């Protein structure tokens, strides 16, 4: 697949390609069997049960990583913004089939890569391929820290404790008490693994107590 100058500019902004010269990028993308995928809102990038032989880099838009229970109920594991790695841990760990699905929250564009070509570099052992692997290791380590933060949220039993732990973590990430979250109300309930009605009730109660203010996806902690 050929890439335009604008394509390469968007791709270079992704942290997995840090330190790789533009002159090397096209060769690297060819080596990795890269292809560009466009998704409409609610489109599926990957589905649960697919072969875990690919991963992606999100170029624009936003995605959510989801799992579906036997009853069809969806749980959001994580939201992903531009530049994020998608399904890399499972693809590179040698898992046979994906245990999660990845869906678009809005029109999005992703770069899909062949996992086998990442872990088995070409015989030329190009320096830029080595840099890619190093970048990948750093990003996966950061993902481990994010997973630990999610475990902390879900370790709380009550809806209100899960909600406040999450909101405080977002506030700390933004460095201010007023912020937007990347979820609508149903997505937030899915992320916290709680019922939407219970979540809405707690948001209303906390608002009445003056502990938070909220409007759609905008929150402020008092």
| Residue % of the chain over a pLDDT of 90 | 53
Same domain? For 40 and 118 the reply is yes
Same domain? For 102 and 170 the reply is no
Residue range of the domain that includes 36: 5-144
Listed in sequence order, the DSSP H helices in the chain are 5-12, 22-31, 88-92, 115-119, 127-154, 159-174, 185-192, 196-208
Both tokens of 171, joined, read: 């506030």
Q: What CATH number did the domain enclosing 18 receive?
A: 2.60.120.10
Task: Give the pLDDT confidence of 151-166 residue by residue, as tens digits.
Answer: 899 999 999 999 999 9
pLDDT reading at 64 higher than 90: yes
Task: Give the pLDDT confidence of 194-206 residue by residue, as tens digits.
Answer: 999 999 999 999 9
What would the mean pLDDT of 167-188 be, rounded to a whole number? Answer: 93
Provide the pairing of β-strand 108-114 with 101-104: unpaired
What would the mean pLDDT of 163-171 be, rounded to a whole number? Answer: 94
**pLDDT at position 121, please?**
63
Task: Give the pLDDT confidence of 108-152 residue by residue, as tens digits.
Answer: 999 999 988 887 766 665 678 888 888 888 888 888 888 888 889
Both tokens of 155, joined, read: 């370790």
Structural domains of the chain, count: 2
Contact 112, 87 (CB under 8 A): no
The last residue of a domain, from among 144, 175, 200: 144
Mean pLDDT of all residues belonging to the chain: 89
Higher pLDDT, 152 or 9: 152
Same domain? For 111 and 208 the reply is no
In a domain, 151, yes or no: no
**pLDDT at position 20, please?**
87
- Closest CA relative to residue 141, chosen from 63, 215, 88: 88
Same domain? For 55 and 106 the reply is yes
């Amino acid at each position: 697949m050929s890439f335009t100058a604008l394509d390469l500019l968007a791709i270079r902004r992704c942290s997995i390609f840090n330190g790789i010269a533009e002159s090397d990028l096209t060769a690297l993308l060819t080596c990795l069997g890269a292809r560009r995928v466009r998704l409409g809102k609610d489109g599926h990038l990957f589905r649960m049960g697919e072969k875990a032989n690919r991963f992606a880099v999100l170029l624009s838009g936003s995605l959510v990583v989801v799992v579906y229970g036997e009853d069809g109920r969806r749980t959001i594991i994580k939201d992903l913004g531009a530049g994020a790695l998608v399904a890399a841990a499972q693809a590179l760990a040698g898992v046979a089939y994906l245990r999660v699905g990845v869906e678009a929250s809005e029109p999005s564009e992703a770069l899909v890569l062949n996992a086998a070509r990442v872990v088995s570099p070409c015989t030329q052992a190009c320096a830029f391929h080595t840099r890619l692997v190093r970048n990948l290791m750093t990003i996966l380590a950061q993902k481990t820290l994010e997973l630990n933060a999610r475990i902390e949220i879900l370790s709380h039993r009550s809806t209100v404790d899960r909600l406040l732990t999450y909101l405080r973590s977002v506030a700390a990430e933004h460095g201010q008490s007023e912020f937007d979250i990347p979820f609508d109300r149903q997505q937030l309930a899915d992320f916290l693994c709680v019922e939407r009605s219970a979540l809405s009730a707690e948001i209303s109660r906390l608002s009445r107590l003056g502990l938070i203010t909220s409007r759609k996806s905008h929150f402020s902690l008092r």
